[in-house]
Amino acid sequence: MMVVNSELTTCGPGLTSRCGADILDRTSECLLTNAGCWKMKTTRAAEKNTGPRRMTSLERRRQIVDVAGRLFSRKGFKGTTTREIAREAGISEATIFKYFARKEALFEAIIDRCCNDESGNLTLMKKLDGKQGREAFEEVVEFFMERYAEDPSFARLLMFSALEREKFSEIFFRSKGMEVLGYLSRQIEGMMEKGVFRPLDPELCARAFLGMVIHYCMVQEIFGFKRFFDRPRAVVAETFVDIFLNGMVTRERHK
């Protein structure tokens, strides 16, 4: 406004209005131009700020776990190097060692990622919460069938571990497998106490039940037998549990 006022005083008589209008136009143009420049600069600054967001520590850790698990299940443990994991994740090998100083720590993280829910508890155990007897056994069958069908990569990890003598399967059975076995053993022991089952080794009985279920899932999904033989999950669960609880001999024969 100081510029406008000083120029208005230099205009001659009769020209004040026109001159003032010209100056106002030039001032408006200048303000608009400056505004445009400012807008352009802020837009460019915003574009710079909207580049790839850096991962948080938790996100980076999960990324390494996911990439490593995927490569291990595809190429095996001995066929996968930390360099490959780093390249696939777009990070350096040093970053991997920053999060996982030991190979066993990475194995444990992969197992937790595959088997636990967001609260850190075993997913299967959450599904079994409040279930008893036949309902619990059927839930176990359907859970494993669903998991193997949706993503058989974890089963491949266990197979590679056994073939290559890696500690992955040992860590899994010690931490997760024994928890499931213990749950089923307690269920069976409770049924023995009620007189539903005759007295036997409850852990061995639980192992027999899991063997039937896991073998079926492995052969169907890993070996591809479902291309030749397949049944609905509910039918498989009901049949397996019925065989386990009641056997195959008819009641007349039992008499």
Give the pLDDT confidence score for residue 118 in this predicted structure: 87
Are residues 95 and 60 in contact, defined by beta-carbon separation less than 8 angstroms? yes
Are residues 77 and 168 in contact, defined by beta-carbon separation less than 8 angstroms? yes
pTM: 0.74
Distance CA 171, CA 183 (A): 18
Residues of the chain with CATH 1.10.357.10: 117-254
Q: Alpha carbon of 229 to those of 17, 85, 221, 223: distances in Å?
A: 95, 37, 11, 12
Distance CA 84, CA 79 (A): 10
The DSSP letter of residue 223 is: S
Give the pLDDT confidence score for residue 251 in this predicted structure: 64
CA angle 179, 184, 189 (to 5 degrees): 125
pLDDT tens per residue, range 135-152: 999 999 999 999 999 999
Fold of 117-254: Tetracycline Repressor; domain 2 (1.10.357)
Architecture of the domain defined by 55-101? Orthogonal Bundle (1.10)
Q: Residue length, the chain?
A: 255
pLDDT tens digits, the chain, 255 residues: what are they?
433 343 333 344 443 444 444 544 554 444 444 544 444 444 455 445 555 678 899 999 999 999 999 999 999 999 999 999 999 999 999 999 999 999 999 999 999 999 999 888 999 999 999 899 999 999 999 999 999 999 999 999 999 999 999 999 999 999 999 999 999 999 999 999 999 999 999 999 999 999 999 999 999 999 999 999 999 999 999 999 999 999 988 766 655
CB atoms within 10 A of CB 200: 12
Instruction: Name the residue among 6, 3, 42, 10 with its Cα closest to residue 26.
Output: 3
Distance CA 202, CA 209 (A): 11
Residues of the chain with CATH 1.10.10.60: 55-101
